[in-house]
């Protein structure tokens, strides 16, 4: 059931088997499996799934390559709700470990917000990441092309840049290392620092050896039309023509609500076992939050793994309880 502000009270008084934080591909997959295992679940979705901004899912098995990410998410939500799962649009602010249960505090509604508390036996963290974009005075100019031919994922979209003139936009020298992997797909690479950081002499020599151009002048604007970026105009007025772009500026991880729980991390990613269980036995992490590849298809598989792990554990405990009683 789709929960609204008016339908929260009855649900705040129950204890769910699992609350899934995040309604992207991974979270929805987890929810579908949980419902099919006859477990009670609630998905809390802040409405900013990374896959929602993907204009075409070129590498998702079985889907036409021009399928927008938002279509996949809509079908997933419809499927989940058809199985009797609860879905709430809200922002999780805090998760508190109470021992046998978790207390999840949620802000509901951007305007005239109300606050609600839910409880569950297990948590699946599926809230993902959001990619940092190049900062310009006119950010709408960036949004015009991001997710089209201004890519954010080499693994996803390297094939889309074969033999094209590609610009890489980084935030530090380390972020520009992706150029040497992109070189598998195209030799026509220009790197942009926007005069935000220095590049070492050794790195410059590596770029020269590969035939890659380095541009340190700040960018005035992206050029193009109909969401297809054709180049950049620099602050000095010069224009560099491009066929595509790759943004390599890192990401924001949406896992602050877990800050009060001591979890093993690798950088900003949560460390998990093969069933996506974190260092806390009743918290699972899937998709972009965990260590691994940031792929929609992998997030969906992670959701199945986490839900299956929870079901197996609940089933085992129930069987043991029946034996001892």
Query: Which pLDDT tens digit goes with each residue over 51-98?
Result: 777 777 888 888 888 888 889 999 999 999 999 999 999 999 999 999
Does the reported pTM lie above 0.75? yes
Q: Which residue has the higher pLDDT, 233 or 252?
A: 233
CATH 3.50.50.60 range(s) for the chain read 2-130+251-324, 133-248
CA distance 304 to 132: 28
Report how far apart the first and last C-alpha atoms of the chain are (Å, whole number): 35
Render pLDDT for 196-212 as a digit per residue (tens, 0 to 9). 999 999 999 999 999 99
Q: Does residue 321 carry a pLDDT above 70?
A: no
CA distance 220 to 225: 16
Task: Say what the pLDDT of residue 299 is.
Answer: 94
Q: Does residue 306 carry a pLDDT above 80?
A: yes
Q: How far is CA 21 from the centre of its chain?
A: 12
CA distance 215 to 234: 9
Q: What confidence category does residue 325 fall into, taking pLDDT thresholds of 50, 70 and 90?
A: low
Task: Say what the pLDDT of residue 1 is.
Answer: 87
Task: Say what the pLDDT of residue 294 is.
Answer: 83
Strands 228-234 and 219-225, how do they pair? Answer: antiparallel
Task: Say what the pLDDT of residue 263 is.
Answer: 96
Could you tell me the fold of the domain covering 2-130+251-324?
A: FAD/NAD(P)-binding domain (3.50.50)
Q: Does residue 27 carry a pLDDT above 80?
A: yes
Render pLDDT for 138-175 as a digit per residue (tens, 0 to 9). 999 999 999 889 998 898 899 999 999 999 999 999 99
Q: Does residue 44 carry a pLDDT above 80?
A: yes
Secondary-structure class of domain 133-248 per CATH? alpha beta
Q: Does residue 19 carry a pLDDT above 90?
A: yes
The b/e string for 224-258 (b: 16+ C-beta within 10 A; e otherwise) is beeeebbbbebeeeeebebbbbbbbbeeebbbebb
Render pLDDT for 176-200 as a digit per residue (tens, 0 to 9). 999 999 999 999 999 999 999 999 9
Render pLDDT for 241-289 as a digit per residue (tens, 0 to 9). 999 999 999 888 999 999 999 999 998 999 999 999 999 999 999 999 9
Task: Say what the pLDDT of residue 322 is.
Answer: 58
């Amino acid at each position: 059931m789709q929960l609204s502000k008016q339908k929260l009270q009855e649900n705040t008084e129950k204890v769910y088997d699992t609350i899934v934080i995040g309604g992207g591909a991974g979270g929805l997959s987890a929810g579908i499996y949980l419902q099919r295992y006859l477990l009670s679940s609630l998905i809390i979705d802040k409405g900013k799934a990374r896959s929602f901004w993907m204009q075409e899912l070129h590498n998702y098995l079985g889907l036409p390559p021009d399928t927008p990410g938002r279509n996949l998410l809509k079908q997933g939500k419809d499927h989940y709700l058809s199985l009797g799962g609860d879905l709430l649009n809200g922002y999780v602010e805090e998760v508190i470990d109470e021992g046998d249960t978790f207390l999840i505090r949620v802000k509901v509604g951007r305007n005239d917000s109300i606050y609600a508390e839910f409880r569950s036996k297990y948590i699946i963290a599926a809230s993902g990441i959001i990619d940092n974009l190049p900062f310009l005075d006119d950010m709408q100019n960036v949004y015009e092309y991001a997710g089209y031919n201004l890519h954010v994922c080499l693994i996803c979209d390297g094939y889309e840049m074969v033999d094209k003139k590609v610009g890489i936009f980084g935030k530090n020298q380390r972020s520009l290392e992706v150029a040497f992997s992109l070189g598998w797909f195209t030799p026509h690479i220009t790197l942009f620092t926007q005069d935000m950081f220095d590049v070492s002499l050794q790195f410059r020599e590596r770029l020269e050896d590969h035939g890659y151009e380095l541009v340190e002048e700040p960018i005035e604007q992206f050029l193009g039309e109909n969401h297809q970026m054709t180049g950049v105009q620099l602050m000095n007025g010069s224009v560099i023509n491009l066929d595509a772009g790759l943004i390599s500026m890192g990401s924001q991880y949406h896992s602050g609500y877990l800050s009060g729980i001591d979890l093993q991390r690798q950088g900003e990613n949560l460390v998990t076992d093969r069933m996506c269980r974190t260092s806390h036995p009743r918290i699972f992490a899937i998709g972009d939050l965990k260590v691994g590849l940031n792929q929609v298809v992998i997030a969906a598989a992670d959701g199945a793994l986490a839900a299956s792990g929870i079901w197996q554990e609940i089933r085992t405990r129930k069987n043991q309880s029946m034996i001892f009683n």
